[in-house]
Amino acid sequence: MLRPSGNGDVNRSAILAFLGSAGAASRADLARALGVSPALMTQLVKDLISDGLIKELAMSPSSGGRPARMLGLVASAGKVIGMKISKDHVALVETELDGKVTRSESLIFDASSVTFLTDLVDLVRSFKDANGQATILGVGVGVPGSVDTQGSGVVESALLGWHQIPLGASLSRELGTPVLVENNVNALAVAERLYGPGHDHADFLVVTIGEGVGAGFVTGGGVVRGGRGGAGEIGHIVAVVDGPACTCGNYGCIEAVIGEKSLVADARRLGIITAVESIAELQTQADNDDVQAQTLFLGAGQPLGRTVAGLVQVLDPEIVIISGEGTKAWKHWKSGFEQSFRASLTSDRRSIPVVVNSWDDEDWARGAAALVASAPFYSDESSGEQGRRVRARLTSPTVKKVSS
Amino acid sequence: MLRPSGNGDVNRSAILAFLGSAGAASRADLARALGVSPALMTQLVKDLISDGLIKELAMSPSSGGRPARMLGLVASAGKVIGMKISKDHVALVETELDGKVTRSESLIFDASSVTFLTDLVDLVRSFKDANGQATILGVGVGVPGSVDTQGSGVVESALLGWHQIPLGASLSRELGTPVLVENNVNALAVAERLYGPGHDHADFLVVTIGEGVGAGFVTGGGVVRGGRGGAGEIGHIVAVVDGPACTCGNYGCIEAVIGEKSLVADARRLGIITAVESIAELQTQADNDDVQAQTLFLGAGQPLGRTVAGLVQVLDPEIVIISGEGTKAWKHWKSGFEQSFRASLTSDRRSIPVVVNSWDDEDWARGAAALVASAPFYSDESSGEQGRRVRARLTSPTVKKVSS
DNA sequence: ACTCCTTTGTTTAGAACTAAATAAAGTTTA
DNA sequence: TAAACTTTATTTAGTTCTAAACAAAGGAGT
């Protein structure tokens, strides 16, 4: 409600993170970007220079007034690990603060094993330790389920079979680094806000298609998480009354209608692909102008369009970002989606932009990494103590020395 | 992003508003309720006592420690005017800060008249001036459409036929009081947060049924407004593919399926009511056990339940509050709604509480009044300069003298 | 060449707020 | 009955931040 003071650690780490992600900037640039007064920026920069964390670079040419002195990091700000947990494997990436991936790996993992927690710790630890010289600011984890808060990281996931699993606390204790856990689509929304089209919008919607169907919504710059971290669970919105059975027990959920499994099953039933072929082959058929394959995707685009239109009516975002592994075949979804999407919107919203991401299999893990990269900019999100630890790592001079 | 200081006016006015709405409280109660330290509360209270705005009352009995000194207002904090604008009339209420209505009126008004703005000014002014001795803290206005920000009050409403109407600026200039404008359902959500079941929840959903169908969502304590103030426009979500034509130009919108007009048309077609009877007679028939009337409401409950279930999947609220003039007949909607609502939710959300408001025709205007009553508690909502003016009126000693 | 304007950066005098320590006034426990 | 504990309220020593004023260094216009 009423806001406490005490943002010094946020401001200092945000400056370092900004320079790490956006490159050299002037005091005036930083003050504008981070929303603080020029007077305060002078003081903060003085501290950071005195701490040996940043240095003055060359002057930038005048834009009509006094030329600006650019500032840069003294050393690398550190790296971030991002992990996406699936039921039969984990994807891991190591990134810089600017989101650039420096290393990645996909590893076998069984979420239903009785030793899944220790297995996870071992997998992340060995990935982390394979680059022993890097300062790891933190580990971001994306899961297909709901999470109480990012900083606490208690996971509830039907898909993984996890019920109130203290994932965040276990990982951060065992790894000795800060860990932030979030629903995987919300993590993607965080990444979009930091690096993607969402960067220039306070209100945007991310929709993911593929094996699952999900959404993440950012309003007023903050991710909508809901009462228990379960916002965005659109995969189980009823899209077709009395439609096909869904894994959740209900009928006609959008995920049961257009999820990858459903498309593959329909394609096998129609003989478009064989019983051992999968979504990649279906896409190949559509790419090769197979009318049935194309019709299948076009048909899937329609309920998706209607559902997303409903989300736009509810949330009034400025843009819609479509993401997820299913976007590899977006050109085939597009016309079915666009027609029903636009037709289902009231006229004042009909021109809303839809941006489709190019997808890479690392992107779920990259989204998770963005949780950590985002923490320096916010103290009012749900990152709590773990967020504070990330910020402390950024601003700690002793950590810096080790990394250089 | 990073938060400025400068909340003194918010804190002081919030104390006054709290005492006005909740009655006498101790410093410790106030510090807890408003989220500030005991040290700061000591100082703020000292200022307000010195300004003659509050006074110390009797001690409250010890709860196991030191007994508390209660604090109360020196004089009435002032009144609020709330107005709901419809296309053919306006409803006005005058309330105390605790939401209690002291006066109300419904007046003829034509939203399509070329002089609608001056008509509105005249109507509000005469309502306001009829109680010449009261300090009016501000005027809250609820409209059936989207509003850019509460403090700016530029209205876009298909129903009223208004396109970018500077309602807030015109009213505040002409009336000489602060004016806050908001979508009418969002205003109801603000009222629920302040006085209703939403008071104890950071995340809740308000759904209104009646002539229109709408929603307001509060998450993390803040109202979700969207990019242009258009969040919550659920009336035009497609509930029935290729369903009945809607006023918005689309087909099958939930409002075209279950809105009052649609129910009345169906009831006339079925002979349940005559061609000159309306929703009240339909409800009377249902109350009198007319099976066809009851079936009509039961049938309307089903698409409503499915749509609200979708909202719950998207937003993960802690409770759902059903409101609006259509709730007068809720007992007939309930079984159709509950069955399809619960059946359309994933099992982890199936026990979410649904609270149905008792409805009074003043409630839209009361919701609008709550915009003003809420302003002292928030400086980060969209009330801007008008919110600041409300707070200044609360904390101004000279205004106080006039009121006593 | 000089003046005016703009942009960048710094200094000054506060405002707003907190954590920790302390004081006050009870209730509970041994 | 005294000690321990709890709750309410205040004091102290800061931290964080701002608006206003000022200084520095250019570009544009006359």
**Of the candidates B202, B238, B344, which has its C-beta nearest A310's C-beta?**
B238
Domain boundary pick from B356, B376, B395: B356
Q: pLDDT band for A7, please (50, 70, 90 cuts).
A: low
By C-alpha distance, the chain A residue nearest B222 is: A1
End-to-end CA distance of chain A: 42
What would the pLDDT profile of B280-295 be if each residue is shown by its tens digit?
999 999 999 999 999 9
B318 touches chain A (CB under 8 A): yes
Domain harbouring B227, CATH code: 3.30.420.40
In this prediction, residue B5 carries a pLDDT of 39
In a domain, B194, yes or no: no
| A39/C13 CA-to-C1' distance in Å | 13
Whether residues B219 and A231 touch (CB distance < 8 A) is answered with yes
In this prediction, residue B14 carries a pLDDT of 87
Closest CA to B393 of B140, B135, B152, B150: B135
What would the pLDDT profile of B102-160 be if each residue is shown by its tens digit?
999 999 999 999 999 999 999 999 999 998 878 899 999 999 999 999 999 999 998 99
| B310/D16 CA-to-C1' distance in Å | 44
Q: Which two tokens stand for residue A17?
A: 């993170």
Provide mean pLDDT across the span B190-207: 93
Nucleotides of C under 7 A from a protein CB: 5-13, 15-21, 23-28
What would the pLDDT profile of B46-87 be if each residue is shown by its tens digit?
888 888 888 888 888 888 888 889 999 888 888 999 999 999
Are residues B156 and B239 both part of a single domain?
Answer: no
A285 touches chain B (CB under 8 A): no
What would the pLDDT profile of A208-267 be if each residue is shown by its tens digit?
999 999 999 999 889 999 999 999 999 999 888 888 899 888 889 999 999 999 999 999
Are residues A42 and A96 both part of a single domain?
Answer: no
A343 touches chain B (CB under 8 A): yes
In a domain, B2, yes or no: no
What would the pLDDT profile of A140-178 be if each residue is shown by its tens digit?
999 999 999 999 999 999 899 999 999 999 999 999 999
Q: Which of chain A's residues have a Cβ under 8 Å away from the Cβ of B11?
A: 2
By C-alpha distance, the chain A residue nearest B35 is: A2
- Protein residue nearest nucleotide D20, by CA to C1': A39
Domain boundary pick from B73, B106, B128: B73
Nucleotides of D under 7 A from a protein CB: 5-21, 23-28
Provide mean pLDDT across the span B26-38: 88
B113 touches chain A (CB under 8 A): no
Taking residue B86's Cβ as centre, other Cβ atoms within 10 Å add up to 18
Q: Does the nearest atom of strand D lie within 7 Å of B8's Cβ?
A: no
Are residues A346 and A262 both part of a single domain?
Answer: yes
Provide mean pLDDT across the span B208-225: 94
Nucleotide closest to B70 measured between CA and C1':
D8
Token pair 């690096």 is found at A195
Q: Which of chain A's residues have a Cβ under 8 Å away from the Cβ of B10?
A: 2
Provide mean pLDDT across the span B6-20: 81
Residue B6 pLDDT exceeds 60: no
Q: Using an 8 Å Cβ cutoff, are B112 and B85 in contact?
A: no
Could you give the angle at the alpha carbon of B136 between the alpha carbons of B133 and B141, nearest 5°? 140
What would the pLDDT profile of A250-299 be if each residue is shown by its tens digit?
889 999 999 999 999 999 999 999 999 999 999 999 999 999 999 999 99
What would the pLDDT profile of B349-396 be if each residue is shown by its tens digit?
999 999 998 898 899 999 999 999 999 888 777 888 898 889 888 887
Whether residues B158 and A378 touch (CB distance < 8 A) is answered with no
In this prediction, residue A313 carries a pLDDT of 93
Are residues A205 and A348 both part of a single domain?
Answer: yes
Residue A4 pLDDT exceeds 60: no
Are residues A245 and A321 both part of a single domain?
Answer: yes
ipTM, two decimals: 0.89
In this prediction, residue B7 carries a pLDDT of 65
Are residues B283 and B225 both part of a single domain?
Answer: yes
Instruction: Print the domain residue range for A313.
Output: 199-356
Residue A171 Cα distances to A124, A128, A141, angstroms: 9, 12, 10
In a domain, B1, yes or no: no
CA distance B279 to B283: 6
B6 touches chain A (CB under 8 A): no
Name the phi and psi angles at A107, rounded to 5: -125, 145
Are residues B57 and B97 both part of a single domain?
Answer: no
In a domain, A312, yes or no: yes
Residue A368 pLDDT exceeds 50: yes
Whether residues A249 and B347 touch (CB distance < 8 A) is answered with yes
CA distance B199 to B221: 9
Minimal Cα–Cα distance from B315 to chain A, Å?
Answer: 4
B27 alpha carbon, distance to own chain's centre: 29
Residue B328 pLDDT exceeds 50: yes
Considering only A370-374, A395-399, B54-58, B167-171, which range has the smallest mean pLDDT?
A395-399
In this prediction, residue A219 carries a pLDDT of 93
In this prediction, residue A370 carries a pLDDT of 96
* Local structure of residue A235 (DSSP, 8 states): G
Q: pLDDT band for B397, please (50, 70, 90 cuts).
A: low
- Protein residue nearest nucleotide D5, by CA to C1': B65
Considering only A68-72, A208-212, B25-29, B396-400, which range has the smallest mean pLDDT?
B396-400
End-to-end CA distance of chain B: 42
CB within 8 A of B16, min separation 6: which ones? B48, B53, B54, B73, B77, B376, B394, B395
A35 touches chain B (CB under 8 A): yes
| Residues of B 37-66 whose CB lies less than 7 Å from any atom of strand D | 38-39, 41-43, 45-46, 63-66
| Residues of A 26-65 whose CB lies less than 7 Å from any atom of strand D | 35-40, 43-44, 59, 61-62, 64-65
In a domain, A377, yes or no: yes
| B27/C27 CA-to-C1' distance in Å | 21
Are residues A320 and A279 both part of a single domain?
Answer: yes
Are residues A225 and A346 both part of a single domain?
Answer: yes
In a domain, A194, yes or no: no
Q: How many domains does chain A have?
A: 3
In a domain, A12, yes or no: yes
In a domain, A1, yes or no: no
Largest CA distance in chain B: 70
Q: pLDDT band for B4, please (50, 70, 90 cuts).
A: very low
- Average pLDDT over chain B reads 90
Strands B136-143 and B179-183: parallel
CA distance A189 to A217: 7
Domain boundary pick from B73, B92, B123: B73
Residue A396 pLDDT exceeds 80: no
In this prediction, residue B183 carries a pLDDT of 96
Percent of chain A with pLDDT over 70: 96
Strands B154-157 and B146-147: antiparallel
Give the torsion sign (CA, A185, A188, A192, A197).
negative
**Of the candidates A202, A219, A346, which has its C-beta nearest B248's C-beta?**
A346
Q: Does the nearest atom of strand D lie within 7 Å of B26's Cβ?
A: yes
What would the pLDDT profile of A316-353 be if each residue is shown by its tens digit?
999 999 999 999 999 999 999 999 999 999 988 999 99
Closest CA to A375 of A392, A393, A387, A389: A387
In this prediction, residue A399 carries a pLDDT of 46
Are residues A351 and A272 both part of a single domain?
Answer: yes
Are residues A62 and A101 both part of a single domain?
Answer: no
Whether residues B234 and A7 touch (CB distance < 8 A) is answered with no
CA distance B59 to A120: 57
Percent of chain B with pLDDT over 90: 65
Whether residues B231 and A315 touch (CB distance < 8 A) is answered with yes
Nucleotide closest to A65 measured between CA and C1':
C7
Are residues A137 and A232 both part of a single domain?
Answer: no
In this prediction, residue B91 carries a pLDDT of 96
CB within 8 A of B82, min separation 6: which ones? B92, B93, B94, B95, B139, B140, B141, B142, B365, B366, B367, B368, B369, B370, B371, B372
What would the pLDDT profile of A278-289 be if each residue is shown by its tens digit?
999 999 999 999
| B16/D6 CA-to-C1' distance in Å | 29
CA distance A94 to A104: 6
Cα dihedral A292, A294, A299, A301, rounded to 10, equals 170
Minimal Cα–Cα distance from B106 to chain A, Å?
Answer: 30
Q: Does the nearest atom of strand D lie within 7 Å of B323's Cβ?
A: no
Domain harbouring B49, CATH code: 1.10.10.10
In this prediction, residue A397 carries a pLDDT of 56
Considering only A116-120, A376-380, B170-174, which range has the smallest mean pLDDT?
A376-380
Q: Which two tokens stand for residue B145?
A: 């459409």
Residue A8 pLDDT exceeds 80: no
